[in-house]
Amino acid sequence: MTFEQAVALQPQWVQYWLYWLMFGAFVLPLTLLIWRQSRMVAVFSIAAGVAAGFLTNWLFNSYGYVKLLGLGHIPFWTPLAIYLLYQLRRPDMPLWPRRIIMVVLATIVISLAFDYVDVARYLLGERTPVAMPASS
């Protein structure tokens, strides 16, 4: 089963959340390249997103669609969330990049909340795949 097929088996709200996650954590940081003050924020955000994507993809290929997939985000997005919080406090950060950073930060913090809970549940023994095709 591909990742896309596994996602298609999820409730509609999970699918919508994953669409938003792609926008809020991967596409929206690209807009931060516009302003000089936020270019490094964009680079760090994009790099963390790409690294998280590769690790999540590796976890999916290794273990399937299980709660451990959240581990793909944790090592990259946790430090990124702290970094973004500090960037919001910069006095030279223009208003629009600050607003974009807030949306990106909110998106990854919500994702991390799910991720930490899911990884903890996996480590505590909940190993059943999240998405399984219907048996015929």
* Domain ranges within the chain, ordered by starting residue: 48-131
Intra-chain end-to-end CA distance of the chain, in Å:
16
- Quick check: 74 and 119 in contact, CB under 8 A? yes
Cα 89 versus chain centre, distance:
22
pLDDT for position 130: 78
Question: Residue 125: what are its φ and ψ, rounded to 5°?
Answer: 115, -5
Q: Who contacts 74 (Cβ-Cβ below 8 Å, separation ≥6)?
A: 112, 115, 116, 119
Q: Give the Cα separation of 84 and 46 in Å (integer).
A: 12
Long-range contacts of 30-33 (CB under 8 A, 24+ apart): 31/100, 32/97, 32/100, 32/101
Question: Residue 96: what are its φ and ψ, rounded to 5°?
Answer: -65, -45
- What secondary structure letter does DSSP report for 69? G
pLDDT for position 127: 86
How do residues 5-54 score in pLDDT, each as one tens digit? Answer: 988 999 999 999 999 999 999 999 999 999 999 999 999 999 999 999 99
How do residues 68-114 score in pLDDT, each as one tens digit? Answer: 999 999 999 999 999 999 999 999 999 999 999 999 999 999 999 99
Nearest Cα to 55, choosing from 30, 33, 78?
A: 78
Q: What is the pTM of this model?
A: 0.90
